[in-house]
């Protein structure tokens, strides 16, 4: 079952929890900690994966709708093909990924997309003492609230791009007028550590005005290498 909090979508950052079924107890505790004051709108998928099921469509929709993906990193999730796919999908959509380490990896290699990222630590201290869950949760909440407004707009524009693609790239779904100016302003305010909008090799600018002018046109706006207001999701 997919569960979502009732936090306001106007104020609660949308968070998707990626985890291995072996770590469900920790994932449940994490969801409760993030939801307790309504500060975050948390999604966690509880469906078992069945043979022949189009699970990628279900999980992909949850990832696309999230502002941030929190990856519960453990020996099991590090070697899980499904968890690997979730990280790859989040990376393809240029989602911010926050790994939380719950146990030593014991030689398991995490997904390569996590290599350059800082982990929020929930594992034991080096001397074997338990690490404070509340301290780890506080650190995660601080990280989630960083660049909150920019990430929400990133999700909104990406979803508009996906809707445009699903509708057959019709002209009436394109950005126009003040939307283009707002998208340029958003793009220029990209935070230093925000997700790279050009990770996907098939990224596609679609922000044309109704007269067909591209918002990424270098003669009008030098955005060719820095990103674009909306991305083709494939």
From residue 6, give the alpha-carbon distance in Å to each of 9, 107, 117, 165. Answer: 8, 39, 30, 29
Among the candidates 146, 165, 199, a domain finishes at 146
DSSP H stretches of helix in 93-145: 133-144
Helix (H) or strand (E) holding 163: helix 148-166
Query: Do 99 and 196 belong together in one domain?
Result: no
Position 210 pLDDT exceeds 70: no
pLDDT of residue 203: 33
Question: Using an 8 Å Cβ cutoff, are 110 and 65 in contact?
Answer: no
Question: DSSP secondary-structure letter at 200?
Answer: S
* Residue 161 burial (CB count, 10 A): 27
Query: Do 71 and 6 belong together in one domain?
Result: yes
Overall number of domains in the chain:
2
Position 69 pLDDT exceeds 90: yes
Query: Do 197 and 151 belong together in one domain?
Result: yes
Query: Do 95 and 159 belong together in one domain?
Result: no
Query: Do 25 and 120 belong together in one domain?
Result: yes
Of the pLDDT bands very low, low, confident and very high (cuts 50, 70, 90), residue 48 is low
**Average of per-residue pLDDT values in the chain:** 75
* Residue 53 burial (CB count, 10 A): 11
Helix axes 133-144, 24-35, angle to 10 degrees: 60
**Domain of 181, in residue numbers:** 147-234
Query: Do 9 and 123 belong together in one domain?
Result: yes
Chain length of the chain = 234
> pTM surpassing 0.85?
no
């Amino acid at each position: 079952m997919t569960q979502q909090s009732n936090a306001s979508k106007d104020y609660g950052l949308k968070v998707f929890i990626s985890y291995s079924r072996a770590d469900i107890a920790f994932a449940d505790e994490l969801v409760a900690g993030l939801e307790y004051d309504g500060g975050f709108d948390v999604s966690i998928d509880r469906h078992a994966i069945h043979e022949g099921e189009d699970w990628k469509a279900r999980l992909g929709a949850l990832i696309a709708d999230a502002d941030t993906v929190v990856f519960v990193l453990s020996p099991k999730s590090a070697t899980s093909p499904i968890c690997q796919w979730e990280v790859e999908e989040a990376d393809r959509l240029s989602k911010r990924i926050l790994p939380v380490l719950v146990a030593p990896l014991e030689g398991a290699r995490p997904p390569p997309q996590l290599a350059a990222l800082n982990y929020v630590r929930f594992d034991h201290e080096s001397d074997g003492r338990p690490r404070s869950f509340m301290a780890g949760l506080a650190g995660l909440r601080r990280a989630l609230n960083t660049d909150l407004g920019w990430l929400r707009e990133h999700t909104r524009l990406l979803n508009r791009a996906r809707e445009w693609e699903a509708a057959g790239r019709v002209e009436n779904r394109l950005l126009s007028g003040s939307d283009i100016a707002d998208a340029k302003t958003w793009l220029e305010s990209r935070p230093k550590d925000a997700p790279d909008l050009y990770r996907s090799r098939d990224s596609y600018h679609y922000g044309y005005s109704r007269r067909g002018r591209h918002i990424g046109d270098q003669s009008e706006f030098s955005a060719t290498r820095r990103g674009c207001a909306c991305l083709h999701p494939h």
